[in-house]
Structure 1
Amino acid sequence: MQQKIYKMRQGSPIVHKTRTQVVVEVLRERILSGDIRAGEPLRQSNLAEELNVSRIPVREALLQLEAEGLVRFEAHKGATATELSITQLEELFELRALIEPGLLARSIPQLTATHLQQAEALLTQLEATLEQEEDAVNSYSELNSQFHLSLYAGAQRPHTLEVVKGLNTNADRYIRLQLLLAGGIPKAEEEHRQLLELCRSGQAEPAAALLKKHIQTAAAGARRLVAKHFADSSKPE
Structure 2
Amino acid sequence: MENFQLENKDSIETKACNAIRKAILSGDFPPGKKLVQEQLARQLDISRMPIREALKQLEIEGLVKIEPYRGAFVNELDTEAIHENYALRSELEKMALQKAYPFMSAKDLADLDALIQKMDQASHEDFVQTNIDFHYLLLKRCPWKRLSTFIQVLWNGYSQQTPEFLHGQIEKSNEDHKQIVQALKNDEPERAAYLLHDHILNTGKRLIAFIKAKND
> Given the two structures, how large is their TM-score scaled by the length of structure 1?
0.73
Q: Give the equivalent residue in structure 1 for 2:166.
A: 179
CA distance 1:149–1:38, change in 2 (3 Å): farther
Structure 1 pair 56–225 and aligned structure 2 pair: CA distance change class (3 A): closer
Aligned to 2:78: 85
Cα-Cα RMSD: 2.9
Distance in 1, matches of 2:52 and 2:209, equals: 35
How many percent identity over aligned positions? 25
**Pair 1:99–1:56, CA change in 2 (3 A):** same
Distance 2:19 2:152 in 1: 19
Note if contact 1:84-1:230 (Cα within 8 Å) is conserved in structure 2: no
- Secondary structure at the residue paired with 1:179? coil
Task: Determine whether 1:26 maps to 2:18.
Answer: no
Aligned residue number for residue 39 of structure 2:
46
2:151 to 157, 164, 181: 164
- Size of the aligned set, in residue pairs, is 206
| Equivalent residue number for residue 131 of structure 2 | 144
Which 5+ residue runs of structure 1 have no aligned equivalent? 8-16, 232-237
Asked if the contact 2:101/2:189 (under 8 Å) is kept, the reply is yes
Q: Render the CA deviation track for 1:74-107: whole Å, top value 9, x for unaligned.
A: 3554223444331122111111122110111111
- The separation in 2 between residues aligned to 1:173 and 1:74, in whole angstroms, is 27
- 1:26 alignment partner AA: K
Q: Deviations over 1:198-220 (max 9, x none)?
A: 12333211111111111222222
Give the counterpart letter for 1:223 in structure 2.
I
Q: Distance in 2 between matches of 1:61 and 1:222?
A: 22
Partner of 1:104: 97
Would the alpha carbon gap of residues 158 and 37 (structure 1) be closer, same or farther in structure 2, given more than 3 Å must change? farther
Residues 114 and 6 (structure 1), Cα distance of their counterparts in 2 relative to 1, 3 Å cut:
same
Question: Is the aligned partner of 1:119 residue 2:112?
Answer: yes
Cα drift, residue 142 of structure 1: 2.5
> Following the alignment from structure 2 to structure 1, what is the Cα–Cα distance between the partners of residues 57 and 205?
29
Contact (CA 8 Å) 2:163, 2:169: kept in 1 or not?
no
- Check conservation: 1:119, 1:150, Cα contact below 8 A: yes
Give the secondary-structure state (helix, strand or coil) at the position aligned to 2:141: helix
Distance 1:174 1:29 in 2: 8
Secondary structure of residue in 1 paired with 2:35:
coil
- 2:187 is aligned with 1:198: no
Partner of 2:199: 214
Dislocated runs of 4+, deviation >4 Å: none
After TM superposition, the structure 1 stretch with the greater mean CA deviation from structure 2, 78-87 or 151-160, is: 78-87
TM-score, normalization by structure 2: 0.79
Hey, what's the Cα distance between the residues in 2 that align with 1:178 and 1:26?
A: 17
